[in-house]
Amino acid sequence: MNEPRLVSVSRRCDGVSAEALLASARGRERFYWNQDDLVYVGIGVAAEITAWGERRFAAIEEKARTLFSGVRVLGGAEPMALPRLFGGFSFQPDFITEHTWAQFAPAYFVLPHYQLFRRGETAWLTLNVQIAADELLDEGALRAALDAECALAQQSTSSPIVPAAPLSSDYPMSLDEWTGLIESARSSMKAGALNKVVLARVCELRFAERVNVEGALDYLNDAYSGCYRFLFEPIPHLAFFGATPELLVRTSGKTVETMALAGSIRRGGTLAEDEALGASLLADPKERHEHALVVEGIRDRLTSLTTMLDIPSEPGVLRLRNIQHLHTAICGSLKAPCGVVPLAEALHPTPALGGSPRADALEFIRQREPVPRGWYAAPIGWIDSHLDGAFVVAIRSAVCQNERVWLYAGAGIVADSQPQKEWEETALKFSPMLNALGAGPDVLA
């Protein structure tokens, strides 16, 4: 039996607001990616691929390769407007489909039916369809459909949305339970079983009506413009979204980019205090040790795959709206182009979100964390038709089901970590998404 063929047609569609287009598609499958001046919006589903288990990365790469192998692109198009898959992976391979993540497979990617690409004032709209192998291609009909959709997109408008405050908030883990979890981790470190482990806790919000995701994204676009903003909504009103500062991996041919992001402190109320806090972060032995473990973990995983790896000897400070992080940008040249998915598999999770040694840290998380992570702290991003792409680490994120939202925040634990300080750090990391969802500081715990 012959497989369907993928057909893609694009056209310029300037004058479109990506955010207005996203808002106009409420109630449909939606996908969003905003990185600096590079914005994608996906609407509808032309194709989807899923995978389970230990081979979920390899299976997704194989299915993506098959999907794109016979793609027919009609006419010329901006390369960034060519079809691409949007999606992500679960944190752990043995995915637990409890109620929070019941609709999310361990690996789940969607090729949108319509895909808008915008950079600056230039925009391209792409229509992706699958047709039967023996079906005649009606290019005129496809272009007419694309023209009509472009006209609608150019007319779409949106107005500022003030998020409604939640009815209630709940933190399933108490400070005492958190302290016990950290003390257990420290005991494992003193016994030599772990060097570092990243532990997370959860906040649940309940609203009177369905969560307005695009309103939350509007806030994140304004307040966290230096982060990667994303939305994966494969089923209407079941969405995973956030604004993460952390790039896992980006590839283009033989070029690979990643980063180490570990070690945190709050922002200051004045410029002088802010600079003093940043300097204290750079001088803090515990934070520097935590960061160094991440750098070395990335180095170990990429050295055998690259001919050159540029890793600065000292970290810098990445300043976000409410928090500062130790940050090391890393780039390299691959021995051979391999696409983005194998590198995402090699790097996930870095010690910034899992721990060190990796296998032992993951087992500790699996056994001790009371709430499954689902897609939190896992790779989310896109794959293009050349199998290059970008994945970020899905932190500062939330998953929503209609009127309910679950937020996640984690902290890196090393031998001299203090439970109260780590509790306060996770509260700081909850803030971006709480604010985006209309919850004030009074719901922090």
Q: Is residue 29 among the annotated active site residues?
A: no
Other C-beta atoms within 10 Å of 438: how many? 19
pLDDT tens digits, one per residue of 65-116: 999 998 888 877 678 889 999 999 999 987 766 678 888 999 999 999 999 9
Please tell me the predicted confidence (pLDDT) of residue 156: 79
Confidence of residue 136 (pLDDT cuts 50, 70, 90): confident
Q: How much is the mean pLDDT over the chain?
A: 91
% residues pLDDT > 70 (the chain): 96
> Could you tell me the pTM of the whole model?
0.93
Q: What pLDDT, on the 0 to 100 scale, is given for residue 133?
A: 77
430 vs 168 pLDDT, higher one: 430
Which whole-number Å values give the CA distances from 312 to 285, 292, 295, 316, 429, in the listed order?
Answer: 18, 11, 10, 9, 26
Q: What average pLDDT does the segment 53-76 reach?
A: 92
Quick one: pLDDT band at residue 5, thresholds 50, 70, 90? confident
Whether a cis peptide bond, with omega within 30° of 0, leads into 4 is no
Q: Which residues, 6 or more positions from 418, have their beta carbon under 8 angstroms from its beta carbon? A: none
Known catalytic membership, residue 190: no
DSSP for 28-69, please give it. Answer: S-EEEEEETTEEEEEES-SEEEEE-STTHHHHHHHHHHHHHH
Question: Which has more confidence, 96 or 21?
Answer: 21
The residues, any chain, with a CB within 8 Å of residue 417's CB and separated by 6 or more, are: 182, 185, 186, 286, 411
Q: Which of 19, 61, 63, 196 is catalytic?
A: 196
| Residues 419-426, mean pLDDT to the nearest whole number | 93
Mean pLDDT of the 277-300 span = 93
The active-site residue out of 149, 246, 422, 425 is: 246
For residue 445, pLDDT over 60 is answered with no
Cα–Cα distance measured from residue 226 to residue 117, given in angstroms and rounded to the nearest whole number: 19
Q: What is the pLDDT of residues 148-178, one digit of tens each?
A: 988 988 887 766 666 778 788 888 899 999 9
Contact 92, 373 (CB under 8 A): yes
Mean pLDDT of 318-338: 94
Q: What are the extents of the domains in the chain?
A: 5-155
Distances (CA, A) of 136 to 75, 129, 246: 17, 13, 45
Residue 3 has pLDDT above 80, yes or no: no
> Is residue 75 a contact partner of residue 93, using CB atoms and an 8 Å limit?
no
Could you tell me the pLDDT band of residue 329, with boundaries at 50, 70 and 90? very high
